[in-house]
Structure 1
Amino acid sequence: MTRRYIPLKSLRAFEAAARHLSFTHAAIELNVTHSAVSQQVKLLEDQLHCPLFLRVPRGLALTPEGEHLLPVLNESFDRIAQLLDYFAGRKVQEKLKIGVIGTFATGFLLPRLAAFYQKFPHIELQISTHNNRVDVAAEGLDYAIRFGSGAWHGTAALYLCDSPLTPLCTPEIAAQLRQPADLLNFRLLRSYRRDEWTAWLQQAAGPQLPPTHPVMVFDSSITMLEAAQAGVGIAIAPARMFSHLLSSGRIKRPFLPEISLGSYWLTRLQSKVETSAMREFAQWLSAELVASAELMPSTEL
């Protein structure tokens, strides 16, 4: 079979532009001009006889061909770097790029990273956080930890855990709450999901949420709990991910009822071939979640 020769410059230019979805940012990373990146990408598209990018109002988007090519290049460049490290006599490190929803990162993953590195010193984690909106291909991620139903197009998803929502507030506000109806005396804090408070109130046999009731919306549960600690209002959030605040007494859980609107999932592109580092991380994370569930104390107010 005749192998097609494609210049490495073209592949590097595409990979950088696809990660950033920007020729300008790719040019800065590669220390070349915007025009040079554009020319190299055009050369690659001509050789492959297909477009790799779509020009959209806010920049670039990958075509289906580009989405398939990007993870293959990411993996190939990582393997080349590992082999060069081996030739240079350095200990080979396996890199793992993970995008993590911020609530799960601070509430579960980050406190356990020291233990992970003790067990897997050969794996180098590169962690970025997101607010449940993530483009795995464009960001060159091996895994993304997300909250939802587990159904994302072109994605393989491994169930991690449920994380039901419940009201959380300061001890001062909690002392004024005797029944669910008392919640309506305060400002309610929620995420971008509109039905959280309505669903919780219905399950708790409380009142319907009035259309004009003051509600503050956040794109991050972490920011929402900061506001709750400041006494701005009452948050609805996953108690399991804020156990450190509950243990410290800075936040109280005034009622037992909770609702589940989704779960945490470890996701990857279906086109992504699992590496040994990916499998080790997935197995470790699943085991840690099982162990933490077994150690969780009984729910108390």
Structure 2
Amino acid sequence: MDRPDIPLNALRVFEVAMRQGSFTKAAIELRVTQAAVSHQIARLEDLLGCTLFLRTAQGLIATDEGRVLFPVLEHGFDAIARALDRLKGRRYGEVLKVGVNTTFALGWLMPRLAAFEAAYPEVDLRIFTNNNRVEILREGLDMAIRFGIGGWTGHEVVTIVETPFSPLCAPVAAARLTHPADLGREVLLRSYRSTEWPLWFESVHTPCPPIAGPVLDSSVAQAELAAGGAGVALLPVEMFDRFTADGRLVQPFGAAITLGRYFLAWPSERVQTRAMASFANWLAEAALAA
């Protein structure tokens, strides 16, 4: 029997999804939509006649077939990358490794990356997503985009954007909410920053109810759960305008509170390279234009 023609792009998508352990994170690295990643994986599984991933409540789990295929592809793509690097000749190029908070990557950076690549084609930008807990030097990064109040010891930081937080929920939940006190009857989804909900209730002069909803280390996970009707999430609204634009999430109250900012950070001891300076300058310009 003839072997089916396997598209190289589908194999690349599988390799990235396997390495990242998430279709969402694979989409960020490949700079496509999550739906496009899912489609390519489904197409590859159909062509191969086997299942590569099990989709579970805990996330993606590779099948035996997936685990057999992955190291072969990883080695192959690495070899291709090394060969292409040797063929670049005298053309200047610089790799820039940036760790990016997943919420910021999906909600702000990804829609703008094409503009950066067009302006700085000599920079090979590589994005590594995280949940805001990142150690730049230990993880081999050049810079990182983090959320917080700044002032990280041993780091230079510049502000990118400030994004106020407000409750977001599914339309069916929003229909039940007319006053902030009504949130006491809802499941309030929480981040690992335990002061967020109390500070928001304080800002609207309403006693904070007992909060017993699940704790998640990802705002993206909170948004997905809220959109599915599992609770109300306190989120940076601007980062989730794709959810509010299509009606999956609704902002029931206008009140918003600033809990921090997104910063670009890099180790103070590191001499800023041309690529680092280009990225920092572009971020500042893009933030002003937003």
TM (norm. structure 1) is: 0.66
How much is the aligned-residue C-alpha RMSD, in angstroms? 1.6
Aligned to 1:49: none
Aligned to 2:200: 200
User: What amino acid does structure 1 have at the position aligned with 2:137?
Assistant: A
Matched, 1:142 2:169: no
Aligned to 2:125: 125
Query: Which whole-Å CA distance do the structure 2 matches of 1:110 and 1:240 have between them?
Result: 14
Aligned to 1:113: 113
Query: Which whole-Å CA distance do the structure 2 matches of 1:161 and 1:280 have between them?
Result: 18
Question: Any residues of structure 2 matched to 1:213-228 within 5 Å, and which?
Answer: 213-228=211-226
Question: Any residues of structure 2 matched to 1:1-301 within 5 Å, and which?
Answer: 89-210=89-210, 213-292=211-290
CA offsets 1:237-282 (integer angstroms, 9 cap, x no match)? 1001001111111110000111112111100000110111111111
- Partner SS for 1:124: strand
Query: Which whole-Å CA distance do the structure 2 matches of 1:90 and 1:251 have between them?
Result: 50
Equivalent residues of 2:166, 2:235 under 8 A apart: yes
- Partner SS for 2:125: strand
Query: Which whole-Å CA distance do the structure 1 matches of 2:174 and 2:287 have between them?
Result: 29
- Partner SS for 1:268: strand
Q: CA deviation at 1:90?
A: 4.8
Q: CA deviation at 1:91?
A: 2.4
Q: CA deviation at 1:125?
A: 0.6
Equivalent residues of 1:85, 1:92 under 8 A apart: no
Equivalent residues of 1:180, 1:207 under 8 A apart: no
- Partner SS for 2:214: strand
CA offsets 1:200-244 (integer angstroms, 9 cap, x no match)? 11111222223xx43221100001101001100000010010011
Query: Which whole-Å CA distance do the structure 2 matches of 1:187 and 1:172 have between them?
Result: 13
Query: Which whole-Å CA distance do the structure 2 matches of 1:191 and 1:286 have between them?
Result: 28
- Partner SS for 2:285: helix
Query: Which whole-Å CA distance do the structure 1 matches of 2:180 and 2:97 have between them?
Result: 43
Q: CA deviation at 1:191?
A: 0.8
User: What amino acid does structure 2 have at the position aligned with 1:174?
Assistant: A
Q: CA deviation at 1:85?
A: 5.3
CA offsets 1:171-197 (integer angstroms, 9 cap, x no match)? 111111000011111100121010111
User: What amino acid does structure 2 have at the position aligned with 1:128?
Assistant: F
Query: Which whole-Å CA distance do the structure 2 matches of 1:247 and 1:290 have between them?
Result: 22
Fraction of identical pairs, as percent: 44
Q: How many residues align?
A: 207
Q: CA deviation at 1:164?
A: 1.5
Query: Which whole-Å CA distance do the structure 2 matches of 1:278 and 1:100 have between them?
Result: 14
Query: Which whole-Å CA distance do the structure 2 matches of 1:242 and 1:290 have between them?
Result: 19
User: What amino acid does structure 2 have at the position aligned with 1:155?
Assistant: H
Query: Which whole-Å CA distance do the structure 1 matches of 2:172 and 2:260 have between them?
Result: 30
- Partner SS for 1:217: coil
Of residues 263-272 and 114-123 in structure 1, the stretch that sits farther from structure 2 once superposed is: 114-123
Query: Which whole-Å CA distance do the structure 2 matches of 1:258 and 1:111 have between them?
Result: 24
Q: CA deviation at 1:163?
A: 1.5
Query: Which whole-Å CA distance do the structure 2 matches of 1:171 and 1:208 have between them?
Result: 22
User: What amino acid does structure 1 have at the position aligned with 2:120?
Assistant: F
User: Unmatched 5+ residue regions in structure 2?
Assistant: 1-81
Query: Which whole-Å CA distance do the structure 2 matches of 1:182 and 1:89 have between them?
Result: 64
Max radius of gyration: which structure? 1
Query: Which whole-Å CA distance do the structure 1 matches of 2:86 and 2:263 have between them?
Result: 33
Q: CA deviation at 1:127?
A: 0.7
Query: Which whole-Å CA distance do the structure 1 matches of 2:86 and 2:152 have between them?
Result: 36
CA offsets 1:56-103 (integer angstroms, 9 cap, x no match)? xxxxxxxxxxxxxxxxxxxxxxxxx9xx959x6252211110000111
